[in-house]
Amino acid sequence: MLLEVKNIEKSFEKDIPVVQGVAFSVRENEIFALLGPSGCGKTTTLRVISGFEKLDSGEVLLDNKVLSSVDTHVAPQKRGIGFVFQDYALFPHMSALDNVAFGLTDLPKFKRKVFAEEVLCRTGMGNFKDRSPAELSGGQQQRVALARAIAPEPKLVLLDEPFSNLDAMLRETTRNEVRSILKKAGMSAVLVTHDQEEALSFADRIAVMNNGKIEQIGTPEEVYYKPKTRFVAQFLGRTNLFEADVDHADCIHTNLGCLKLNCRAHGQITCSIRPEHLTIEKPNGSLNGSKKGIIIAREFKGHDITYHVECGGERYIVHTDNRILFEPNDEVVVKPLEPAVVLDNFN
């Protein structure tokens, strides 16, 4: 493992922990995201890894070397880690080239600018090397900040909401470019974001954080399609939740008829099914135990449609492709296409 974060704890005020037992590891050339709502402790975790913040307990190791523990604290500039901050933090009075050359203190002076230019070219900014940050767009500043972070060839780069200042179109293209630059350079990265789509499309694995704790770690597909908790299910997109009391069963009886579960369950359970794992049909023939529903709202989004359906006194959200056309007040039946995922019932 390249980076190991072992049960770190951090409080700023006595008895109010903001990071509680956070543990994860990052492999070589892996992009890892810390995803969670504002204030859940993502940035504090990143700042502990960077060394800008000391921890109260736990350990941070890079390449088996302890960087932070109760007794050890290696200074940020000595950790061999690159950082890209939300506001890019470029020196305003320096050119793009000088910003990148600034950190190359391991190279002899005459080589610094040559190498800095090479890295700027790699991030597509070679032609802008003489411009100051004020003469660059947000996306261009972002790429200079990335060039500055990767120029000393760190094994690990920390990215704190680096795309949040860019507009939607630029955010997507810059994100793809940054991902491919990191992958080509063989670097690992930890990205902090509150944007689900960003984490799902940028990271190889995601840790979903809530209230200072990690609730689930997994690939984007795992955390999206197999959420472990109610929080993860709801934070990663819209979902339909069902509660039931079951006796070693692999399906539950709902307004939609018999709903299959992804595993055998016992006791009081909550399960989740994503809107795209439901579909709607005209109520023809036998309903097989499902109740008729009424379309109460429709959101047309071009490539797909979201329907809000009332059925048996409950509301369900259904995403269909744009060929399944119904109007508000139409009678429908809602059909599950996949089993519902049983959640850990601790919250």
Judged by the rule CB under 6 A, the positions of this chain that interact with ligand ATP are 12, 18, 36, 38-44, 194
CB 191 → ligand ATP: shortest distance, Å? 12
SS3 assignment, position 185: helix
* 133 vs 212, beta carbon nearer ligand ATP: 212
**Are 90 and 148 within 8 A, CB to CB?**
yes
Q: Which is nearer to ligand ATP, 36 or 293 (CB)?
A: 36
- For 53, the 3-state DSSP assignment is coil
Q: How far is the CB of 43 from ligand ATP (least distance, A)?
A: 3
Number of Cβ within 10 Å of residue 53's Cβ equals: 19
What is the closest distance, in whole angstroms, from the C-beta atom of residue 86 to ligand ATP in the complex?
Answer: 8
Strand arrangement, sheet containing 188-193: 81-84, 156-160, 188-193, 31-35, 205-210, 213-218
For ligand ATP, the closer of residues 22 and 97 by Cβ is 22
Closest CA to 340 of 268, 241, 213, 223: 241
Distance separating alpha carbons of residues 302 and 101, to the nearest angstrom: 46
In the complex, the smallest distance separating the C-beta of residue 236 from ligand ATP, rounded to whole angstroms, is 16
Q: CB of residue 19 vs ligand ATP: minimum separation in angstroms?
A: 7
Nearer to ligand ATP, 231 or 242 (CB): 231
Q: Looking at beta carbons only, is 200 or 256 nearer to ligand ATP?
A: 200
Find out whether 128 and 109 touch, Cβ atoms under 8 Å.
no
Any bridge partners for residue 73, and if so which? Answer: 68
Measured from each CB, the residue nearest to ligand ATP is: 43
For the record, the structure tokens of 280 come out as 């709607």
**Minimum distance of ligand ATP from residue 35's CB (angstroms):** 10
- CA end-to-end span of the chain: 31
Least separation in angstroms between residue 57's CB and ligand ATP is 17
Query: For residues 39 and 267, which CB has a smaller minimum distance to ligand ATP in the complex?
Result: 39
d(CA 61, CA 54): 14
Closer to ligand ATP by Cβ: residue 39 or 186: 39
Residue position matching structure tokens 């692999």: 250
